[in-house]
A = this chain, B = another copy of it.
Amino acid sequence: MEFDVYGVMLITAVRFRVEKRSENTMARAGVLLTRHGEVPTPVFMPVGTQASVKTVSPEELRQIGAGIILSNTYHLYLRPGHELIEKAGGLHSFMSWDGAVLTDSGGYQVFSLGPLRTISEEGVEFRSHIDGSPHMFTPERVMEIEMALGADIAMCFDECTPYPCDYEYAKESAAMTARWAERCLEAHSREDQALFGIVQGSVYPDLRKSSAADISSLGFPGYAIGGLSVGEPKDLMYSILDETVPCLPEDKPRYLMGVGSPDALLEGVARGVDMFDCVLPTRVARNGTVFTREGRIIVRDAAYAEDFRPLDPGCDCYACRNFSRAYIRHLLKAGEVLGIRLTSIHNLRHLIRMMEEIRSAIIEGTFSEYRKEQWEIWYNN
């Protein structure tokens, strides 16, 4: 029998506690208790697709303030293989990360393969993007893989519908995702790993509501909202969140998959979301775009050639404490890896600090003001 730091018996691998609710919005500050540390929420999870957050070391992730990261089941299954990671003692041990980990289910990746995959009630047949070899993901198979990877949180295997998606298809798909969720629950047997359900239903409020009801009825310790941020306008995403979140259990964490722009984080939190992940901060960093308190800047631009200020003068990250825009621009222009390391560290720190500020604002009752102030910076930026 195991106990958490408060002496409460751990009956699931992950526990969630809401500490404070915002008065005028759905925002809430909470804590996610995992076997690899306490994670204050709302939280942004950096993405380590191939068991590495691109260019960044685990030590740096800690310095940035990351408490939980996401890794991709599809990619790890193909390379290096989940059996290898299991032999290494699981993902934490393999990548030397002692914080918490969440693995997605590969749903988004296999459905993104387009002509390389075939969907049936049984599961999805697909070909590897690396070598074209044939593979099959079923709910049972994905559970086997995620259990081998050994993250703190595993996600159910779902069908992630594209945008746009017609109503009938979205309805059938959400119903199948619910049947797959039952199969995942049945197949999942690892007690030290939490399994989260995923709500689908495309951009149709009634389908979102019925999906949320179906998935919630299965009693997961956490719920994700999938199939958003797949190309639809942001306002449409926000209105779907408005319809969906109230249908999810109040006492469980809510996770909006694939969202990570500063404006969408603010709006997601305001609508009651606790967890987010996205490759955006590291992807744009590699192109030389960095987040600052005054909005995005493209530090590769000639305008910064002789700018000896930090990327963001108020930032406490390693890049901002030590290097100038001029130096980082030089590294990026010269193709030096240190350049994309520094912009990646900075962007991750920016979003994680933003989440820390959001959390403090919720606790202090000033979230609406914070949201308005940040919105002015990030709207259309």
Q: CB within 8 Å of B: which residues of A?
A: 50-52, 54-59, 79-80, 84, 87-88, 94-96, 305-306, 308, 318, 322-324, 326-327, 329-331, 333-334, 336-341
5 example contacts (A-B, Cβ-Cβ < 8 A) are as follows A51-B331, A52-B331, A55-B338, A59-B322, A80-B326
Are B88 and A327 in touch, CB under 8 angstroms? yes
Smallest CB separation, A315 vs chain B (Å): 15
With A and B bound together, what is the CA distance between A305 and B50 in angstroms? 15
With A and B bound together, what is the CA distance between A55 and B54 in angstroms? 13
Residues of B within 8 A of A337 (CB): 54-55, 337, 340-341
Residues of B within 8 A of A58 (CB): 322
Smallest CB separation, A82 vs chain B (Å): 12
Are A326 and B54 in touch, CB under 8 angstroms? no
Q: Which residue of B lies closest to A338 (CB)?
A: B52
**Contacts A80-B330, A95-B327, A308-B88; is A318 near B57 (CB within 8 Å)?**
yes
Q: Which of B59, B79, B341 contacts A318 (CB 8 A)?
A: B59
Residues of B within 8 A of A94 (CB): 324, 326-327
With A and B bound together, what is the CA distance between A338 and B58 in angstroms? 10
Are A330 and B79 in touch, CB under 8 angstroms? yes
Counting every copy of the chain, the complex holds: 2
Residues of B within 8 A of A336 (CB): 50, 52, 54
With A and B bound together, what is the CA distance between A50 and B331 in angstroms? 8
Q: Which residue of B lies closest to A329 (CB)?
A: B80
Smallest CB separation, A80 vs chain B (Å): 4
- Taking A80-B333, A80-B334, A94-B326 as known contacts, 10 extra A-B pairs with beta carbons closer than 8 A to each other, sorted by chain A number, are A52-B334, A52-B339, A54-B337, A54-B338, A58-B322, A80-B326, A84-B326, A88-B308, A95-B327, A341-B341
Residues of B within 8 A of A57 (CB): 318, 338, 341
**Contacts A306-B87, A338-B56; is A50 near B323 (CB within 8 Å)?**
no
Are B333 and A79 in touch, CB under 8 angstroms? yes
Are A51 and B96 in touch, CB under 8 angstroms? no
With A and B bound together, what is the CA distance between A94 and B327 in angstroms? 6
Q: Which of B54, B84, B330 contacts A306 (CB 8 A)?
A: B84
Are A88 and B324 in touch, CB under 8 angstroms? yes
Residues of B within 8 A of A95 (CB): 323, 327
With A and B bound together, what is the CA distance between A52 and B318 in angstroms? 16
With A and B bound together, what is the CA distance between A58 and B87 in angstroms? 35
**Contacts A84-B306, A88-B327; is A79 near B334 (CB within 8 Å)?**
yes
Smallest CB separation, A301 vs chain B (Å): 14
**Contacts A337-B337, A337-B340, A341-B337; is A96 near B322 (CB within 8 Å)?**
yes
Query: Interface centre among A52, A96, A323, A326, by most B CB within 10 Å?
Result: A52
Residues of B within 8 A of A306 (CB): 84, 87
Smallest CB separation, A44 vs chain B (Å): 20
Q: Which residue of B lies closest to A344 (CB)?
A: B337
With A and B bound together, what is the CA distance between A88 and B84 in angstroms? 48
Q: Which residue of B lies closest to A56 (CB)?
A: B338
**Contacts A58-B322, A79-B334, A96-B322; is A51 near B327 (CB within 8 Å)?**
yes
Smallest CB separation, A351 vs chain B (Å): 20
Smallest CB separation, A236 vs chain B (Å): 35
**Nearest 5 pairs between A and B by C-beta?**
A96-B322, A80-B330, A55-B337, A50-B334, A52-B336
